[in-house]
Amino acid sequence: MTCLNSRDDCLAMDARDPLAPLRARFDLPDGVIYLDGNSLGARPRAALARSQQVVAQEWGRDLIRSWNSAGWFAMPKRLGDRLAPLIGAHAGEVVVTDTTSLNLFKALAAALAIQQQNNPARRTIVTERANFPTDIYMAEGLTRWLERGYRVRLVDSPEELAGAVDDDCAVLMLTHVNYRTGRRHDMAALSALAHARGALALWDLAHSAGAVPLDLHGDGADFAVGCTYKYLNGGPGAPAFIWVPQRHQAAFSHPLTGWWSHAQPFAMAHGFAAAEGIGRALCGTQPVLSLALVECGLEVFEQTDMAAIRAKSLALTDLFIALVEARCARHPLGLVTPRAHAARGSHVSFTHPHGYAVMAALIERGVIGDYREPEIMRFGFTPLYTSHADVWDAVEVLRDILDNERYDIHAARGAVT
């Protein structure tokens, strides 16, 4: 893509943008350029009225009857079916429930149980050292709890994965788009590698769902989890999702056997009997208000498609990279996000020796990105509400901060996120 020469060029791009009308579906504060949707998505305008409806009417007036009359009980599966097309899943294969960490634990436990039946000698979970820490923590915690010789093997680069997926590997557990760098794995190739070596492929889609097109079936994944509060705009701490394809549902089992995953939850039986289908991936009583807000985010996606979202994402990230490198060339910025489209998610990361201070200064000026160690400034681009003019303006603020050293390298460190 050619770097646009002026803000007017960016405005002209916005005028031709088929997704531009969707920006009005979000409540974005004045004076803010929001480039952190990869960490927490903006609020859909519909969320406020929906939350009031749940609290005032469904809970306040209809009380416990709303589990049936308002469809509360069916929400995890209903939302899963609405989310499924965004990740290349089928109806009846996704539930929105619990947290990403808990869902990862379930999926990983189920994968190991399947391997215990089919390939009992396989005891290793392979993942990247650069994976999001909670994924590694959950895998390590599960292996310690099992106490049967299971272990986690960490590799230091994607190039080492082929050698690490050996005869001892039970599960290849990867995050599709790296949370620091924005590097995107080839899901189809790595899932095929896992299967060729007798392993199962488990994918974390936290930085992919709603940002890049996904085809879990076509790419041969075995299980997947992800969150709804980033690109899916479900709200802070919104419930996550788990995908279990039909081919694995009968064998899907995990130790978090709460009453919502029981075949007859209201029978109050003394013994556990797993539900049929995707219901096995549930656990306990669901957070109704949070689930209701997830639906507001999903409704916006039904006004477009992932191909259009991806096209704009690449245009925005290409533009940002080009403008930063052209207008901030004399500063020690290092691009860590891949330039190749096939290897990129929807956020761009640059390093700077004073990245924390620079990001704090950007946020103070109304350009909200975030910071990750070491020295990484992350900028997320959500095509549903980010404009080309936003990109131009954000880079202009960054240029001014860097050119005039308008940042405090001695400022006390806190959370810049």
Strands 334-335 and 347-351: antiparallel
Are 80 and 74 spatial neighbours (Cβ–Cβ below 8 Å)?
A: no
Q: Alpha helices, DSSP H only, in 3-132?
A: 7-16, 46-52, 66-69, 75-87, 100-118
Q: Alpha helices, DSSP H only, in 268-339?
A: 288-301, 306-327
Location of structure tokens 């005039």: 404
Residue 248 has, within 13 A of its CA and on its CB side, a CA count of 29
CA angle 302, 22, 293 (to 5 degrees): 60
Give 89: exposed, middle or buried? Use CB within 10 Å, 0-12, 13-18, 19+.
buried
User: What six digits make up the tokens of 173?
Assistant: 């557990």
Q: How far apart are CA 165 and CA 195, in angstroms?
A: 10
What residues are annotated to the active site?
132, 204, 229-230, 378
Neighbour-count burial for 201-237, b at 16+ CB within 10 Å, e otherwise: bbbbbbbbbbbbebebbebbbbbbbbbbbbbbbbbee
* All residues at 6 or more sequence positions from 315 whose CB lies less than 8 Å from its CB, including other chains: 1, 13, 388
Instruction: Give me the phi and psi of 283, to 5 degrees please.
Output: -140, -90
Q: How far apart are CA 383 and CA 195, in angstroms?
A: 34
